[in-house]
Structure 1
Amino acid sequence: MEWFGADEAWERPTPPVGHSDVRLGVVLLAISALLLELSRSFGDFSQAAAPWQQYLSLASICAALVWRRRFPLPVFGLAVAHFFVVCTWVGEVGYTMPYQLIFFFAIYSTVAWARDRRTTVIALATLAVGFGLWVAWDFAMGQSVESFRRNTSDYTPHGLFPMIPAWVVYTAVINVCYIGGAMAMGQAAWRQARDRARLAEQAETIAGQSAELRDQAVVDERLRIARELHDVVAHHVSVMGIQAAGARRLLVHKPEQAATALEQVEQSSRQAVTQMRSLLGALRGTDETEETGREPQPTLSALPGLFEDCRRSGLQVEHDLVEDLPGTAEALPLPVQLSLFRTVQESLTNVQRHSTASRASVTVRVHNHGGDGWAEAEVLDEGRPRSGTSGSGLGLLGMRERITSHGGVLEVGPRVTGGYRVRVRLPLDGATITRGESR
């Protein structure tokens, strides 16, 4: 049962009867009729059935094979019955090589195209038993042995076995090879069809998964672009708003300080435009920063400039760097440095926009001992939330998405002692940092 695929869930598709099936039937009929007529030209057909019966026997079996793929089991049953009838009453056709080959092809087609494999096994077992009983009956009750003796009465055997047993065993082996060979070839064809169907299904699944991965990659890239745009625009626009508000208050009484604040607004706007160009240039895939005039993505080395911008807008920032070895932070992978920088930038922007705090502290920690290294950034303030300044939440959402993409952890919330705390920790592969460990 297992060899025949009786437990397989796959079923071979049922094809319609096509031109190829009709052509095959016509070709088989033409070849077998030609061989029959050649046999009639040199053989003794004096005791044979009428010629129309002989050709009808060939035409009927060839016509049945036209439907072999559409209805394999019914055609098989018809072919078996046809075989026994023709070999019994039209033996001059049934025992010829063309007819035997046609019946061989009928067995092969049944095994190759049958959908119900269990029924196929039962049908083939019935055929094998029927063949055995028929051959046994022919030897025991028929005239086969007597006819064989008459035809070999003047023949002296030269083999190792007795004549009659050798002939019986020879006939049995031929029949076993005949039926078994047709079954084996049909089963091989069925398995090839099943394997092709599985490969096609796997290819379709892979194509669908590839399309899903492409779509997901597009979505992820859109989210990344949205995060970068939000981080760049939100920070500089917030700083510009604070500086513009200060300039407005100082414009009448302290015009010189107002002019300084407006200069800072101008610098912030230029920085925003420069970083926007840098981001768009990265999206276009151009890497020549000197030719395009854009700056590379910020790293941890850009934090002092960020702190200076915050101080000019009225927020005092204290910062500290904790490293296992000097230079370890500078050797962090660029995506990790960018994520830490954007997290600190977004956190300080939120402090300026939504908190009453005038001071904040930033601590960057890098630990790379053993295989469980990590990089961490922590932003603390001691202010209270400003009324009417609740944001859209997109900043925190983008921050979480960015950290999640690195497999990191983000902690955001109020402190027990007052103020607000943002802490992010990103895992590091032990092989990614080499500069700090080589010193």
Structure 2
Amino acid sequence: MPRPRPTEVLAEWFGLDDDFDRLPADPRAAYRRDVWLGLGLTVLAVAGMELARSAGYLWGDPEPPWLLYTLSAAGALPLVVRRRYPLAVLATVYAHFLLVGLTVPDVVMTQVLQVVYFMTLYTAVAWARDRRAMIIVVTASLVAMFGWLFWQMAVSSGMQQFAENEGLLDDPPGLFPPLGAMVAQSWLVNFAYFFGAIALGQVTWHGARRRAQLTEQATTIERQAAELGRRAVVSERLRIARELHDVVAHHVSVIGIQASAARRLLAKGDAATQDPRVPLATIEAASRDAVEQMRGLVGTLREIGDDGDDPGAGGGRSPEPGVDDIARLAEADDGLDVSVTLVSEPPGGVPAVPGALGLSLYRTAQEALANVRKHSTARAVGITVRVDRRPVPDDERFRGGFAEVEVVDDGRARPGSSGSGLGLVGIRERVATHHGVAEIGPRVMGGYRVRVRLPLPLEES
């Protein structure tokens, strides 16, 4: 790869082709502070001029005081809009420097106005939105400043008189000629002054651009994470709808078949008082109609979800797993020690868990185990299934008892294996579907826990 030319490096450093526009985070507050800063420096410039005049620092015959005050104030006042119009302020202030410096040089040499000139140049580089215009205006200002400096040294005899008065010409104290050293020192100070302001302004501009890029990246990541979460929720809801369809459709289909068989059997005998075939035929028609409508609804959902990946999609109609199938999750021979414990109160209550709830508990344990295998250093996992028909005090959701699965491991997060978190989103979606409770997170004593509790329906009396 060829090395970039110096002009390309400078163009990159000054951001000539960059589309970043630096603006204050709170423009109103920033512009208000600029007004106060400009007014404060104006007052200080006038006060500094009077102090210099009173101390006798002005050369030659002093100008009228009102003129000195006016010129000092005119040099500092444009800073009230320094960030609103940075290049216009730079051109105005440095035009003031050049014109006043050629006519009344005592004014521009005061300390406050020197600070003003530095701040104006820094602001133009740090806040200019048009970087190419900034280069033009700054270059013109530097040419004017160093041109003025050259003129002052060419026409002024102050350095010569100072060297003669101090006897430096007769007995030079250093390695360099006194007059040459004075000129070189003056140029060095001004070089550091002007280019220091430019460098500081450009570094500040780069810092602002970097912060803006990080903010934009954070916003993009947040938006993408929200979109991924939304897709995960939609995908999980589609999978829940399909599973609910399979469970309910199976039972409703059985109802339809049984009702049809009963009607045919009864049709062979004589009805005593009322023909039972009519309500049985209604049951048959209603069950088949319900199954047909559910299949149409789920078919619509599948069409909507065809664009995204659905990890739970399947074309078969095999029986869905339930609570009894959780023990099969421990059969995988992958070095992970998985133990399954079943607790039922009263004993034998597991078969009473509805198919939809049992499926959700199975999927929760399956997802939790998958997360342990992918993202944890755990060597052992305990799965506890609890089915309790006793009502839970102070919680109306669990008046009919609850079915619960808890997955606990003894590991910690594996470095460099953080997941997207979408599996946990799916677990929470399942819990919300059944109006249950989920507790997911690290344990105080180490390891990780996933616990899901779903309400059982009230037993019919």
* TM-score, scaled relative to structure 2: 0.54
CA distance in 2, matches of 1:93, 1:86: 7
The offset of 1:239, in angstroms, is 2.5
Report what 2:178 is aligned to: 163
C-alpha spacing 1:25/1:200, structure 2 compared with 1 (3 Å): same
Match among 353, 361, 380 for residue 294 of structure 1: 353
The offset of 1:252, in angstroms, is 5.4
C-alpha spacing 1:96/1:7, structure 2 compared with 1 (3 Å): same
Partner SS, residue 14 of structure 2: coil
The offset of 1:73, in angstroms, is 0.9
Report what 2:39 is aligned to: 26
Partner SS, residue 160 of structure 1: coil
CA distance in 2, matches of 1:225, 1:135: 81
Matched, 1:136 2:150: yes
Partner SS, residue 13 of structure 2: coil
The offset of 1:251, in angstroms, is 3.3
Q: Does the Cα contact within 8 Å between 2:126 and 2:204 map onto a contact in 1?
A: yes
Q: Deviations over 1:287-327 (max 9, x none)?
A: 9984695267469x9xxxxxxxxxxxxxxxxxxxxxxxxxx
Which amino acid is the alignment partner of residue 12 of structure 2?
E
Which amino acid is the alignment partner of residue 4 of structure 1?
F
The offset of 1:106, in angstroms, is 0.6
C-alpha spacing 1:298/1:13, structure 2 compared with 1 (3 Å): closer
* TM-score, scaled relative to structure 1: 0.56
CA distance in 2, matches of 1:334, 1:228: 20
Report what 1:176 is aligned to: 191
Q: Deviations over 1:246-292 (max 9, x none)?
A: 2322235599xxxxxx9xx9xxx9xxxxx99x89xxxxxxx998469
The offset of 1:25, in angstroms, is 1.1
Q: Does the Cα contact within 8 Å between 1:29 and 1:59 map onto a contact in 2?
A: yes
Partner SS, residue 12 of structure 2: coil
Report what 1:75 is aligned to: 89
State which structure, 1 or 2, has the greater radius of gyration over its C-alpha atoms.
1
Alignment of 1:38-49 (within 5 A): 38-45=51-58, 47-49=61-63
C-alpha spacing 1:140/1:39, structure 2 compared with 1 (3 Å): closer
Q: Does the Cα contact within 8 Å between 1:138 and 1:144 map onto a contact in 2?
A: no
CA distance in 2, matches of 1:332, 1:175: 69
Q: Deviations over 1:94-126 (max 9, x none)?
A: 112211111101101111110111111122222
Which amino acid is the alignment partner of residue 36 of structure 1?
M
Q: Does the Cα contact within 8 Å between 1:33 and 1:55 map onto a contact in 2?
A: yes
Match among 121, 144, 152 for residue 107 of structure 1: 121
Moved more, 47-56 or 110-119: 47-56
Match among 129, 133, 141 for residue 119 of structure 1: 133
**Identity within the alignment, %:** 42
Consecutive unaligned residues in structure 2, runs of 5 or more:
1-10, 271-279, 288-318, 324-340, 371-425, 427-461
Which amino acid is the alignment partner of residue 31 of structure 1?
L
The offset of 1:334, in angstroms, is 8.1
Alignment of 1:192-231 (within 5 A): 192-231=207-246
C-alpha spacing 1:154/1:172, structure 2 compared with 1 (3 Å): closer
CA root-mean-square deviation? 3.8
The offset of 1:149, in angstroms, is 4.0
CA distance in 1, matches of 2:62, 2:164: 20
CA distance in 2, matches of 1:193, 1:92: 37
Number of aligned positions between the proteins:
284
Q: Deviations over 1:323-352 (max 9, x none)?
A: xxxxxxxx99989xxxxxxxxxxxxxxxxx
Alignment of 1:242-391 (within 5 A): 242-251=257-266, 253=268, 290=344, 294=353, 297=358
Moved more, 148-157 or 5-14: 148-157
C-alpha spacing 1:33/1:217, structure 2 compared with 1 (3 Å): same
Consecutive unaligned residues in structure 1, runs of 5 or more:
256-261, 270-274, 280-286, 302-330, 336-404, 406-439
Q: Does the Cα contact within 8 Å between 1:48 and 1:90 map onto a contact in 2?
A: no
CA distance in 1, matches of 2:21, 2:342: 58
The offset of 1:147, in angstroms, is 4.1
Which amino acid is the alignment partner of residue 248 of structure 1?
R
CA distance in 2, matches of 1:25, 1:124: 21
The offset of 1:170, in angstroms, is 0.8
